[in-house]
Structure 1
């Protein structure tokens, strides 16, 4: 009797839970978990985000910064040894054609290559399709409120909105903020770069950021890219969340760093996952670059005292991708 009564009680409780569950789920689906971040300040149909700040006039002004014709390359090589956030990889293979039996009387042979991997290995550029946020349960949104189904073509396994092929090259005034020289050492993993840090460097060198600028931040972390790849990818110094609205208010067009995710790792709040990515790319439409090789540029700027230059980042238009490879340059 006791067993039977317990069974009835359990059955009743399960029935109540079953009946209540749809109500809870419906409530969760109709109540947004956060405030919408759209429409963009660049308009509800905009697809370029902060790159809108780079105008023809801005490019012409950047060209005026070229005084010596000196080109400083800021890109890495791409190889199987390049560290990347798992499961990213890079693999290149050379193909030898007709080496065993050359063609024609002139004995023609040729070499070419094939490669596979992820643009997120080595120097990279990320565009607004790269990051989304779950605005409400089951409702993933990207820049300007675009829904997941608007951005991702699941049949082709390609992005169809905000792809790298639709983005213009980045050509603008670049400003280097050298945190390594400012602090007198390489920054450590988990070390947060603050607004105060950036403003302190700018004040020290009598610099100001202007709308449309590319802000490049040297931390010294790229030293570990080849010296200790495991250490390089295990964490990093980077900007904190407070820097994002500050950059947006200043109408910065692009941010580039000498580490692999721009933001600090481990993150400031252990309960959050990649919050700077969410605030910059998804909510404000930033385009940014990572794994930039900035030590040579930092040395040159320290020698001549000039921390502004023409910055150029072009990239292949690989259809349907959220990231790109390239060899950005600073021209002084």
Structure 2
């Protein structure tokens, strides 16, 4: 994985920022754009009542797709029928009522999830200027909890780039430009409106489920996606994009062919603009239905868990058409 050693602060020195836009104490960033009016605009996109859940299964026997260095979920039964058969459980007053309990140990970013705004930083500052030292032992500022209190509800728009290119999936490390996103929307007959939640389909996550982990990770991990460019980050800023999602682990081209660094949009969008990242979605069923009926907008509902001091949260987003 070839990368440039330039400092990210230098690369993003002139990038647009939302720091201070909603006050010095703000911890939800661009989700402030999702007002009651925006929620109702999302509701108006509902025509059929068809519902699509975008979350991945957790703890599959074949494993879960995660960022390299993280592990998939470990799922354990804490109590089951065997405990009762062995006489290891005594529940006074249960009168024969039995039950099962289980435990999941997992990375908070180990499945379909939202990043907290403080998850990634540079130059020792989180979103809105909070000191990176406040992440020690748990996130004092910009954790997932304020985002979870707010919720992520608005008009979603699917941008099926894979289908736009006439392919099942994009190739390893391929780039998606802003012009292609706009061309994709135009071909689909859908308008991306201010404060929408774009959901970008590459088809990449399907490789994990169809061909396995070895094919997915390869010799070096290099996902396709959008990446930093001045026009793209200015478009996000001008369009007041509150959140976006993809069917990739990190929502962007792993090594940017623009900056030659890893994940620059996590700096330019998450840290600088406070845009919420919804990563590792499964979009095949939603995409097939959109292609079938020609309707690519929907009510998007994302509800992260209220994990105190958490760097992110699992989520099962819902698209309602």
- Is the structural similarity TM-score above 0.5? yes
Higher helix share: 1
Change (3 A) 1:305 1:292: same
Equivalent of 1:241, from 228, 233, 239?
228
1:305 deviates by 0.5
Match of 2:164 in 1: 182
**Match of residue 202 from structure 1:** 185
CA distance in 1, matches of 2:264, 2:195: 23
Shift of 1:275: 0.9
TM-score normalized with structure 2 length:
0.85
Q: Cα gap change, 1:158/1:103 in structure 2, threshold over 3 Å: closer, same or farther?
A: same
SS at match of 1:173: strand
Q: Which residue of 1 aligns with 2:66?
A: 84
Give 1:47's aligned residue.
Answer: 27
Q: Larger relative CO (CA 8 A, sep 6+): 1 or 2?
A: 2
- If each structure's strand is expressed as a fraction of its own residues, which one has the higher value? 1
Q: Do the aligned partners of 1:95 and 1:111 also contact (CA within 8 Å) in 2?
A: yes
Given the alignment, which residue of 299, 315, 320 partners 1:326? 315
Per the alignment, residue 263 of structure 2 pairs with: 274
Using the TM superposition, give the Cα deviation of residue 269 of structure 1 relative to its aligned residue in structure 2, in angstroms. Answer: 4.9
Number of equivalenced pairs:
292
Partner SS state of residue 103, structure 1: coil
* Structure 1: unaligned runs, 5 residues or longer: 1-31, 135-139
Aligned to 1:312, the other structure's residue is in SS state strand
* CA drift at 1:165: 1.3
Cα-to-partner distance string for 1:187-218 (whole Å, 9 max, x where unaligned): 11111110110110122233222222110000
Partners of 1:127 and 1:92 in 2: how far apart?
Answer: 24
Provide the rounded CA distance (Å) in 2 between the counterparts of 1:271 and 1:187. 20
Aligned counterpart for 2:138 among listed residues 158, 177, 201: 158
Residue pairs, 1:1-332, within 5 angstroms: 35=13, 39-79=19-59, 81-89=63-71, 90-96=73-79, 98-99=83-84, 100-101=86-87, 102-104=90-92, 106-134=95-123, 140-149=124-133, 151-152=134-135, 154=136, 157-167=137-147, 168-185=150-167, 186-227=169-210, 228-233=212-217, 234-242=221-229, 243-269=232-258, 271-332=260-321
Q: Distance in 2 between matches of 1:289 and 1:298?
A: 17
Larger Rg: 1
8 A contact 2:19–2:273 mirrored in 1: no
Mean CA deviation greater in 207-216 or 99-108: 99-108
Secondary structure at 2:300's aligned position in 1?
strand
| Residues 38, 166 of structure 1: alpha-carbon distance in 2 compared, 3 angstrom cutoff | closer
Structure 2 unmatched ranges of 5 or more: 1-8
Range moving further from structure 2, 215-224 or 205-214: 205-214
What's the TM-score once normalised by structure 1's chain length?
0.82
CA distance in 2, matches of 1:210, 1:256: 16
**In the TM superposition, what whole-angstrom CA distance separates every residue of 1:251-279 from its partner, at most 9, and x where no partner exists?**
11111000101111232157523211111
SS state at 1:201 partner: helix
**Distance change in 2, residues 1:246/1:325 (3 Å):** same
Alignment RMSD (CA, Å):
2.0
What SS class does the counterpart of residue 128 from structure 1 fall into?
A: coil
